[in-house]
Amino acid sequence: MTSCEHYHCVYIADHDVMCIHRVDVQGAITQWLVNDRPSSLSVNKAHNVLVTCRVVRKIKEFSSHGVLLRQMTLPDDVINPCHAIQLTTGHFVVCHGSRVRGDAVHRVCLLSDDVTQIVHTHGGQRGSDTGQYDVPCSLAVDDNEFVFVADLNNGRVTLLSPTLNYIRQVVSRDKLKWLPRSLHLDVQRRRLYVTDNDFKDGKFTAGRVVVFSV
pLDDT tens, residue order, the chain (214 aa): 999 999 999 999 999 999 999 999 999 999 999 999 999 999 999 999 999 999 999 999 999 999 999 999 999 999 999 999 999 999 999 999 998 888 999 999 999 999 999 999 999 999 999 999 999 999 999 999 999 999 999 999 999 999 999 999 999 999 999 999 999 999 999 999 999 999 888 888 899 999 999 9
41: helix, strand or coil? strand
Q: Distance between CA atoms of 159 and 180, rounded to whole angstroms?
A: 14
Predicted pLDDT of residue 100: 85
β-bridge partners, 190:
none
∠187-118-151 over CA atoms, to 5°?
A: 50
Cα–Cα distance between 68 and 9 in angstroms, integer?
A: 18
